Amino acid sequence: MPDQIVRDPIYFQASDRLRSAIRDGSFAPGQQFLTERQIGERFGISRATANKALAGLVSEGLLEFRKGVGTFVRSGVLDYDLRSLVSFTGKATAAGMVPTTEVHAFHAVFTSDLEEPVREALQLDAGETVVYIERLRLADGMPVILEFRYLRERYCPGLQRSDVGESLYSLLTERYRLHVAGADEIIRAVSLGNAEAEVLQAAPGDAALQVNAVGFIGGGVPLWWERTLYRGDAYEFRNRLGPITNPSQVRPAVGTLRER
């Protein structure tokens, strides 16, 4: 007996079910996906509605259509969930990819040598030391993230270069017993410069998403500041919005739009 779709419009619920099946690993990257007929039989909907659901998943980048062959689960695309902090290592592994990390820089920096925005964001005391970490994250050998991070040394004493070659979140929580409570992020679209493009094995001017973030531990204490570049062809940012129940309670956006 097919799963009945009870919500209107019908294809929204079909799309939600299919999207969940892709993201939970029921269909592996590169695997051929269900046909219109199979979707119609599974959900008790018309082929036209099934086609509309498929088209929506293709436009989201979860599926790709190959002419004369069919629809397949798209390979090589990771998603960044804006609703929670998830480690790259965990996300890549869940997507069936092998995560690796190259540590390009690791050294101490004194407060006086930091740029003012970083110093203020971390609320540093005079004379405090931070650790600068530059890492390239790869999924199945493909560079996908270039990360520049300043980490407060007082909360992770004895940290070594060899320690940051894997998940930093795991290191902070397991070795240093720190509870990473959340992060404030600013996200913008940018074009890669020559040096950044070379490291990410992309072309200069290619699109990327830049995330500037401050990570916090319990009590709202800032732990790190980072600037991270995500390859535009390898990452998709995902969010889920709820309804506005009282428009008067919506907080205005902070900042201004400007030409670059």
CB 108 within 8 A of CB 130: yes
Q: Return the H-helix or E-strand segment holding 221.
A: strand 221-231
Cα dist. 213→30, 51, 122 in Å? Answer: 33, 40, 11
**Mean pLDDT, residues 178-204 taken together:** 93
Pairing mode, strands 235-238 and 129-139? unpaired
Q: With pLDDT > 90 as the criterion, what percentage of the chain qualifies?
A: 46
Between 255 and 205, the higher pLDDT residue: 205
pTM of this structure: 0.66
User: What architecture does CATH give domain 10-73?
Assistant: Orthogonal Bundle (1.10)
Other beta carbons within 10 angstroms of residue 235's beta carbon come to 19
Domain ranges of the chain: 10-73, 78-238
CA-CA distance, 114 to 130, in Å (whole number)?
9
Q: What does the pLDDT look like over 43-72, one tens digit per residue?
A: 888 998 898 889 888 877 788 777 778 888
User: What architecture does CATH give domain 78-238?
Assistant: 3-Layer(aba) Sandwich (3.40)
CB 32 within 8 A of CB 71: yes
| Residue tagged 């992770």 (tokens) | 156
CA-CA distance, 96 to 100, in Å (whole number)?
13
